[in-house]
Amino acid sequence: MKHPILSRAICNSPVDALFNKSVPKKHLRPPLRLLALADRIPDPLNYLVGLTAPELVLPENIIVFRRHFNRLRRSNIPHSNLYQYVLIINLRGDGSVVLDERCLHLRPGHCLLVFPSQFHHYPAVADTRLLWLFITFKMRPDPTLGVLRNRTIPVNAAAWQWISLLIEHYVKADRISPPIAGRLVFYLWLALLELVNIATLMPAAPHTDSNKMYIRIYAIHQYLREHLSEPMTIADVAWHVHMSSSKLRTLFKSVMQVSLGHYIRLTRANYAAEKMISSDLSLSEIAEQCGFSSIYTFSRSFKETFSMSPRTYRERIRQQHGLFLSGAEPRSPAKLAAGVPRATIIGGKEYAESI
């Protein structure tokens, strides 16, 4: 069953109306203001030299998925993706997102943009009606989006239209084909620009004191990221945040619903995955930089996290982006795709399946 907000937006879409033969002809007539402006257009000084916009920075590698109450409640594992933006849109229900050391209330009809490398997770969710839409994408740094950082934004009618068109084309078409991918980029970029316009008109978000509990969790995350290549024990982490080991274990488990030891292993594995994407380091070098005592320990931990070996993971990433190691003989696409969910081939599966 279609979501009512998205259904209304799709039906009222200007793009949909443009190709709808049932639209009355009076709606296709140019507005009077446009006719008046057209009479004021001067002749160009040069018919070969026109206005040129600066190079556009556009989103790419777009992944869309949804999360209901049960799925989001079970997945309280923190994330900190170096490359992806995560646009979270609350379609229904009530919930919160911990972003770095702050807990932001995400109300229905509002959205939140998580920037690359921002530490974020989802505290305990109580609203059983919850339905959130996630759109992840990659994009070069662009100051235009800066106004969206660390604040929830209400979604207006125009933004709903572009988001609805994005979802409509994403669910019913082949997302790998270039024409469809181009439309997805176009719709997402227009939605983001609309959200930027909304945020620009909003008053600055009031400063609120961070919860001490989340500050400590964030401090733990930062410490792990800065010392991943070193041998590390829970006692080391406890000393850094000025707590006893037993109290630290209890606090972390109560907030994150996962043990600190398990989270350390997850952090090492995820950092290794990022290294495979961003560098041509050998697996042995990556294992060493991520603090694994041996390549065997690294492979075992990585496979427990991603359900595949590090070598297979790297081959799939290279296959996806066409960035094979020089001289390496990749497996055929058919072998790589065999038994693999579609999201794995088009990217973003590891994030989507972890929340």
Is 187 in the same domain as 218? no
Last residue of a domain, one of 201, 236, 254: 201
Is 171 in the same domain as 254? no
How much is the average pLDDT of 155-184?
83
One-letter amino acid identity for 217?
I
- Comparing 249 with 339, the larger pLDDT belongs to 249
CATH number, residue 286: 1.10.10.60
Which two three-digit tokens encode residue 119?
């530490």
The pLDDT value given to residue 207:
47
Q: Where are the beta strands (DSSP E) in the chain?
A: 60-68, 84-92, 95-99, 102-106, 110-114, 120-121, 131-138, 152-154
Is 250 in the same domain as 269? yes
Tell me which residue range forms the domain holding 124.
Answer: 60-201
Sheet containing 95-99: which strands, arranged edge to edge? 102-106, 95-99, 120-121
Is 248 in the same domain as 170? no
Which range of 49-53, 173-177, 268-272, 345-349 scores highest in mean pLDDT? It is 268-272
76 close to 258: Cβ distance less than 8 angstroms: yes
Give the DSSP letter string of 219-244. HHHHHHHHTTTS---HHHHHHHTT--
Residue for token digits 């920037």? 115
pLDDT tens digits along 1-44: 555 555 555 455 555 544 455 556 655 678 888 888 898 888 88
CATH number, residue 155: 2.60.120.280
Which two three-digit tokens encode residue 90?
């609350």
Q: What is the mean pLDDT of the chain?
A: 76
The stretches of 66-211 forming alpha helices (DSSP H) are 69-73, 157-172, 178-201
Q: Is 353 exposed, middle or buried (0-12, 13-18, 19+ CB in 10 A)?
A: middle
pLDDT band for position 159 (50/70/90)?
Answer: very high
User: Does a structural domain hold residue 234?
Assistant: yes
Is 170 in the same domain as 123? yes
Is 195 in the same domain as 64? yes
Is 197 in the same domain as 305? no
Domain count, the chain: 2
User: Does a structural domain hold residue 192?
Assistant: yes
291 close to 229: Cβ distance less than 8 angstroms: yes
One-letter amino acid identity for 139?
M
pLDDT band for position 189 (50/70/90)?
Answer: very high
One-letter amino acid identity for 201?
L
User: Does a structural domain hold residue 11?
Assistant: no
- Integer Cα distance of 302 and 274 in angstroms: 12
The pLDDT value given to residue 323:
40
Taking alpha carbons only, the member of 35, 248, 65 closest to residue 166 is 65
Q: Is 65 helix (H, G, I), strand (E, B) or coil?
A: strand
Last residue of a domain, one of 171, 201, 231: 201
Is 287 in the same domain as 329? yes
